Amino acid sequence: MLLLECPYCGVAADETELAAGGEAHLKRETVGSLDAEFEEYLFMRENPRGVHFERWRHAYGCGKWFLAARDTMTLEVFGTYPAQSKKPPKAIENLIKKKRPDWKGWA
Amino acid sequence: MSEPQTALQGATAQGFVTVSEDGLHGMISLRGDLNDPKLKAAVAKLTGAEVPAAGRISWKGDRGVAWMSPDELLVIGPYSSAGKDALVLSKALKGVHHLVANVSDARAVFRIEGAGFREVLAKLTPADVSMDAFGIGQIRRSRFAQVAGACWMLEEGSARVVCFRSVAGYIFGLLEHAARSGSEVGYF
């Protein structure tokens, strides 16, 4: 069972109260982008065995989107943060670096 | 004019706790910037209760305000005056970006009374309803079995469960079944 803390409500929400939204921090391509860049944006997703950043929605609660950093193999949650973030907060990044020294960075 | 009716006409069930459908509630959905002083003042003037912090519900007399999300409140009051209250709110919030809607008929409310009320809730929802996480003055939106719902607590030994009116029968069935005598778990 995956428990993620909603950064808005402050409650530990169960996986079944949430809706998964796929990979976080995608860069949206727009007018003038190359076909290859569009392909990357529309279809290509990371599928790591380890540290991953994801979008989640607190569907059965406040209804807001948030982002989560977790390990897809151990299900360890490093932290959650608001969806308005362009990149993970420094604190979460430092925590991951400490716990997973071989992690290559979020981008 | 036909008389307003609750979804289940006040159904009750007696198990190790009492489950009963509560009467009609006036409910007004209010969306906007919850930190706006004008919004805070309008809510306080109408209900006498403060705009609650995240995850909390404040109550004064027969009126209350529940925190639903970072930009949404549920203003609770008498059913008969909900239409008028909604107008009062939108008038008071003129010029402030907001949304007010009378949603009184959209929901059903249940009372769960008795020492084991946490057991009944915990059987149905993944939310943490232990004493540390769910106490007086708190509201928790979650799901009950397969449908969305919320529960709040205003006094020791009882809680309210609120759900959409269309699933009132389903929720009552769940609560009644979870509260049957002899099915106590004894966890809390």
SS3 of B3-71: the string is CCCCCCCCCEEECCCEEEECCCCEEEEEEECCCCHHHHHHHHHHHCCCCCCCCEEEEECCEEEEEEECC
Rounded CA separation B36/B76 (Å): 20
Distances (CA, A) of A102 to A6, A79, A97, B163: 28, 19, 8, 47
Q: Give B55 to chain A, closest Cα distance, Å.
A: 6
Instruction: Assess whether pLDDT exceeds 80 at residue B1.
Output: no
pLDDT digits over B153-164, tens only? 999 999 999 999
Rounded CA separation B119/B114 (Å): 10
pLDDT category at A105 given cuts 50, 70, 90 is confident
**Could A10 and B54 be called an inter-chain contact, meaning their C-beta atoms sit closer than 8 Å?**
yes
Q: What is the pLDDT of residue A44?
A: 94
Chain B residues in contact with A8 (beta carbon < 8 A): 54, 69-70
pLDDT digits over A37-69, tens only? 999 999 999 999 999 999 999 999 999 999 999
B54 close contact with A: CB closer than 8 A:
yes
Torsion angle of the four alpha carbons B107, A63, A4, A66, in this order, in degrees rounded to the nearest 10? -170
Domains of chain A, each with CATH number or no CATH? 3-99 (3.30.2270.10)
Which residues is B65 bridged to in the sheet?
A: B58, B75
Rounded CA separation A66/A68 (Å): 7
Mean pLDDT for A66-82 is: 96
Mean pLDDT for A59-86 is: 95
Domains of chain B, each with CATH number or no CATH? 12-23+106-178 (3.30.1360.120), 26-105 (3.30.70.1520)
Note which residues in 109-168 of chain B have CB less than 8 A from chain A: 126-128, 133, 140-143, 148
**Could A11 and B128 be called an inter-chain contact, meaning their C-beta atoms sit closer than 8 Å?**
yes
Residue in chain A lying closest to B56 (CA) = A9
Instruction: Assess whether pLDDT exceeds 70 at residue B179.
Output: yes
Please give the ipTM for the structure prediction: 0.89
Instruction: Give me the percent of chain B exceeding a pLDDT of 70.
Output: 99
